[in-house]
Amino acid sequence: MLNKKLQQTLPSIQPGWVWLAGAGPGDVGLLTLLCLQGLQQADVIVYDALVGDNILALAREDAAFEYAGKRGGRPSVKQHDICERMVELARSGKRVLRLKGGDPLVFGRGGEEARHLAGAGIPFRIVPGVTAGVGGLAYAGIPATDRHTNSAVTFMTAHGADGGLAKDIDWDALVKASPFLVIYMGLSRVGQIADKLREAGLKSSEAVAVVSRASMIDQKVLETTLGECADDVSKAGLKAPALLVIGENIKLRQGLDWLGAIFEGRTLDPDVGHIRPQGKRFDS
């Protein structure tokens, strides 16, 4: 837990305030100090499905917990109701920690919630977290950028507001502009996404990785290709949450999979994991 000096150095949640915080992708070690301070000071913790028990266990002993996510087929709590509940808690003088997976402003509706609080005159602080698309990839040994392969990376979701595949994505522009794609909420639509990317010109042999439950105890990484990913994913039975990752950097994983090396007791060879020097990504 935080020592006295750190506790005093960091800001404290005041009564009537909401801290909108990200808990990172899963590993407790990826919590920020501010998030830990929030956990230890909050009277009420309003948390989402992606926040694990290992993290909630760090809360103050007498903290109250309110679940605000989807789990086990239960109907999800309505976004508006979550916002209203936070306002109600803050107005009653509680110190509220609103805890989300990853970073609260990355595919996490944190912006919407903060706007609602602002509209109701509730003071808040935003506490960033390690987003899955960065921290989760690091746990899979896949660099988000590498100077030999990509000077751009795209974090995206293919999940549209209506629950289907997002309709407003310009797939042609996407594959041309970004050599490395990190797709959130894509696991259940992997086949459709692969089809769109191939229609946009990416080769069937393009490297794909699926990083399931990154930084959690049951993390799994599947390396496959655009042509085979849909079949491979259903065969492997990977669990959510998972990221779909597309691009050459995946090949660096062979030399960078530090977590696999720890589990399997092997050493990493810096010479394995290569990148095609002038690889052509497009069919046309």
Which has the closest alpha carbon to 133: 19, 241, 261? Answer: 241
CB-CB contact of 47 with 74 (8 Å) = no
Applying CB under 6 A, the span of 64-72, 99-107, 171-179, 261-269 interacting with ligand SAH comes to: 99-107
Report the Cα 164 to chain-centroid distance in Å.
19
Of the two residues 108 and 179, which places its CB atom closer to ligand SAH in the complex? Answer: 108
Q: How far is the CB of 193 from ligand SAH (least distance, A)?
A: 12
Catalytic residue among 4, 27, 43, 48: 48
Binding mask 107-146 for ligand SAH (x = CB under 6 A): xx----------------------xx---x----------
CA-angle at 170, arms to 183 and 180, nearest 5°: 40
Cα-trace Rg, the chain = 20
Of the two residues 94 and 215, which places its CB atom closer to ligand SAH in the complex? Answer: 215
**Cβ count near 126 (within 10 Å):** 19
Of the two residues 1 and 217, which places its CB atom closer to ligand SAH in the complex? Answer: 217
Applying CB under 6 A, the span of 89-97, 100-108, 112-120, 221-229 interacting with ligand SAH comes to: 100-108
Helix extents (H) in the chain: 4-9, 33-41, 53-56, 79-91, 110-119, 137-139, 171-177, 190-199, 229-236, 253-256, 258-264
Catalytic residue among 4, 53, 62, 70: 70
Judged by CB under 6 A, does residue 155 bind ligand SAH? no
Judged by CB under 6 A, does residue 238 bind ligand SAH? no
Of the two residues 94 and 100, which places its CB atom closer to ligand SAH in the complex? Answer: 100
Instruction: Look up 70 and say whether it is catalytic.
Output: yes
160-171: b (≥16 Cβ within 10 Å) or e: eeeeeeeeebeb
Give the span between the Cα atoms of 57 and 53, in whole angstroms.
Answer: 6
Of the two residues 94 and 230, which places its CB atom closer to ligand SAH in the complex? Answer: 230
List 24's β-bridge partners, or say none.
102
Judged by CB under 6 A, does residue 103 bind ligand SAH? yes
Applying CB under 6 A, the span of 66-74, 106-114, 230-238, 259-267 interacting with ligand SAH comes to: 106-114
Q: CB-based burial of residue 109 (10 Å sphere; 0-12 exposed, 13-18 middle, 19+ buried)?
A: middle
Applying CB under 6 A, the site for ligand SAH has a residue count of: 24
Q: Is the peptide bond before 11 cis (omega within 30 degrees of 0)?
A: no
Binding mask 26-55 for ligand SAH (x = CB under 6 A): x-----------------------x-----
CB-CB contact of 69 with 81 (8 Å) = no
Judged by CB under 6 A, does residue 101 bind ligand SAH? yes
Q: Give the residues lining the site for ligand SAH (CB under 6 A).
A: 25-26, 50, 100-103, 106-108, 131-132, 136, 184-185, 211, 213-216, 240-243
Which positions are catalytic? 48, 70, 185
